[in-house]
Every structure is written in C-alpha cells, then in structure tokens.
Amino acid sequence: MKAEIFQDVANLPTIMVIFGATGDLTNRKLIPALYNLDRQGLLPDTFQIIAFARKNLTTKEFCEYSKSQISKYKVAQIEDVTWKRFTRRINYLHGDFKEDQAYTHLAKELNKIDSDLGVCTHKIFYLAISPDLYERVFQGIGHTRLNQICQNLKDTRVVIEKPFGRNLDSFLKLNAQVSSVFAEEQIYRIDHFLGKETVQNILYFKAGNPVFMSDWSESRIDTIDIVMHETLGVEDRAAYYDSYGQLRDMIQSHMLQLAALILAEIPESMDASTISKNKEEVLNSIYIENIKRDVHRAQYSEGVVEGKLVNAYAEEKGVKTNSITETYVRIKAKVKGGKWHGLKINLETGKRMPEKKTEIRLHYKSAEPTKGLVGKNCLIFRLQPSEGISLEMQVKKPNNAKLETVTMNFDYDRSFREILPDAYEKILLDVIRMSKNLFPSAAELEASWKFTDMIVDEWRNDNIEIAKYPAGTLVIN
C-alpha cells in the first residue's frame, strides 16, 4: 500500500502503539494527555491507539482499568461523553514482548487497520516500559519490519523516555540498539521538562527580542545561574533514584538542556537539525576547571518541609543502607571558545528544598557610566511555579539620589487566557506532527554524559563522607 501525501501535518492519519499500556506512565501521563488533546480537538481525525501489554484484557476492560487509574490519581477530569468518544480510538492487544509471536500479531493488527482505512497510516511506537526491555522490543520491531511498514522512514517514529542510560557507555549501547532499527530522524527521545511551554519559549524569546539579543554574549553577561529546587523527596522512585542520584537525574538532562537553549545561536529557521547542532556545540563547550573545588554534593537529613516533619533520605523506603547517593548538587562551570568564552555558569539542584523553584538568571555585567551610579541588570526566566519572565533594573529612588532595584514582570497567567498545556500534551502533539525541535539528539546526550561522567569518576575515587543538609533548608553541613 502506498503512503499518501498529506499536506496538513496536524491531521496525519496515525496509529500510536503504546508498549506497556497497563503501566503507571501510560495511565498517569499518556492516556490522560491523549484524552485531553482529543477533548480539545487537537488529535488527527484518524488517530488510533493500540494499547499493547502482557495482561490478558479485552479493549473494554482496559478502558475501564485506565479510567479507574486516572480517577485514582486525579490526573484528568473525565467527562462521560468525551471519554466514550475517546475510547473508540483504542484497541487493546495483549502479548509478551519477549515472544516473536506478539510482534507478528501486532503487525497483522496494524495492516488490518490500514486496510480498513484504505491508507498507510503514520506509525508511532511509544515505549512506556522499563529500559531493560528496550533491546528485546527493538529486536521484535526489526524482525517483523514494523519500523518500515509503509516503506517510508518518516512515516514511522519511535519514542523512548529518559533515562537514556546511566553513563556514556550504557547510553552508547542503548543508542546502538535503537539505531540498528530506526534512523536518527525517526527517534524521539523524551525529556518531559523540555515540553513545558515556558522552556520552549526560550528560543522564541531570543528570536523575538532584539533589544536583548544585540549583544547576547560574555561581553555583556557575567554569570548565568540555573536553579531547580524541589520540595518533594524521592516519593515512590527510590529504587530508580538511589542508583542515579540528582546529578544524573536532573543535571545530565534537564539542566544542561536549559543551558544549551540559553546559549545556543539563534537558528535561521526553527529547523530541528539546526537547533540540535547549535545545542550540541554549547554542550561540548561547558567544562569544570577543578571538580573537587567546584562541585559540591549533599544528601538531605530529617527536617521540616512546608510545615511537615519528613524523613532523612537514608530512611526513605527503598533506599539502600548507608547510601551515599546525592540529593543536592551545586556546580560552578565555565564556557570555553566562541562568544561565550569565560562565561560562568552555576548549576544548583536539590530535593527537599525550602521552596519549589526552577529559574534561569542572567546577570549582566555592571557598569558605572556616571560616577557613583552603578548600573546592573538581571534577566530571569521563571519556569515554575510562577511561569514568566522578569527584568531587574535600576531606577532613581524618589527624594533620593541613589539607584534602587525594581522588577518588571511578565506573567503567563495574567497575559494569556489559555491554560498552559501539560508537558506530555505538548510532547505528544510534537511527535504526532513530526516536530523534533526540542527532542535531544544522540550527539547532545553524548556530550551531556561526558560532562557528568567526569564528575562521577571523581566522586568514585573520593572517600570523603557525603555532606548533609536538614530537609527544608539550604544549610550544608
């Protein structure tokens, strides 16, 4: 069957196959996001979901199970009429990912849908499963040639979630596995944080505001602070988190991506390959002069967060005895080469912090054009929870000959009536519409892993006892 050419990328006939359809990720994130997109009329007219998992369920039973999970975790407001309409898009298929027969069955189902529709649909394979199963699933997809069912690579995409390995070697192995079946243009690596509207706005802000961009370089900007603070602990992620820690979980992915977006050259067009290449150059230019001096780690002890007494990390359920996993990291880094040469970048992230806050602060170099009047500015991207942009500037204080700092604010919720979309809604829409602008490439991730691996190697050879801080504070002992 030949693939038809559809001019409207927002309305491409599509089938999404969700591997691991009965898992937490599917029912807490994917199904709620797809349901909300459907309610808003944003899914293609022809959009089918094949929920693929090992449990022996009927389609009706799966839909009832999914609805109960959404209600349990309160991740979406379900309306009976719109839910009933949405579930018409779903077909449940059970099979063991370790058996070839499951993929043969899946291939027959995909071909049947295409035959019934009379068109070769776009295929999206979403791996909502443990990374331990990736290799077998890639083998199954390759064996049954599901990756090229329409003889057009662009018509088929695969979506994988972080973590993308736990170090450079494991990432390269994972990448070799997926690349043996899919071309780079088909691979969508999800960092859900990049789906936030406030993060995606960084590129657009830079392109649309020449007043700031006329000299967007180290010659004007002295330091950039990127802060990601959470009040939460490890919650139900202890088994995963204790083997990764804050460095791999937050800095290797989210924070280095934010740094890359801020420093990357403005692309001539919003072309995914150009954006990715620009970010890759930035990631390869960030370095640490002295890891022992410039990198600090700590782990939270018992304390009070938002008025409640919370356990120490070492006492969290699922954490290994005598764990030295870091829950806080502060890094002083620099940039080498290009217009940002010598720029200082401070990265700070931690769990059980005094407040939830994610922001990027660009500190402009101070100047004294008039003796006694020192000018200084700070541009702040507020990513959560109060999304917006602020500019700190100096003004004359009334009845005084001194300057005082005031803040000019842009707030999303005040300026736009639209509710900011959930990150997964935005990500899924980008996958469906084949927009790869903010999906990290293999080259970007390789550069990020090289950066964090150097720190891990240093820690491995360091016998110093990990510092502690009381939960709800920033007091490092």
Active site residues: 254
Query: How far is 66 from 466, CA to CA, in rounded Å?
Result: 42
- 410 labelled binding-site residue: no
- 416 labelled binding-site residue: no
Query: How far is 452 from 436, CA to CA, in rounded Å?
Result: 25
DSSP notation for 193-238: GGGSHHHHHHHHHHHH-HHHHTT-STTTEEEEEEEEE-S---TT-H
Parallel, antiparallel or unpaired: strands 357-364 and 378-384: antiparallel
- 351 labelled binding-site residue: yes
Helix ranges (H only) for 332-432 are 412-415, 423-432
Query: 376: number of CA atoms within 13 Å, CB side?
Result: 13
In order of 82, 258, 280, 318, 387, the CA distances from 196 in angstroms are: 25, 12, 20, 30, 10
- 60 labelled binding-site residue: no
- 356 labelled binding-site residue: yes
DSSP notation for 442-472: HHHHHHHHHHHHHHHHHHHT--PPPEEEETT
In order of 48, 145, 148, 238, the CA distances from 141 in angstroms are: 19, 6, 9, 31
- 143 labelled binding-site residue: no
- 162 labelled binding-site residue: yes
- 169 labelled binding-site residue: no
- 112 labelled binding-site residue: no
* Angle of CA points 240, 244, 247, to nearest 5°: 140
- 192 labelled binding-site residue: yes
Q: Which residues are annotated as a binding site for substrate?
A: 192, 196, 230, 249, 351, 356
Q: Which residues are annotated as a binding site for NADP(+)?
A: 54, 96-97, 162
Q: Which residues are annotated as a binding site?
A: 54, 96-97, 162, 192, 196, 230, 249, 351, 356
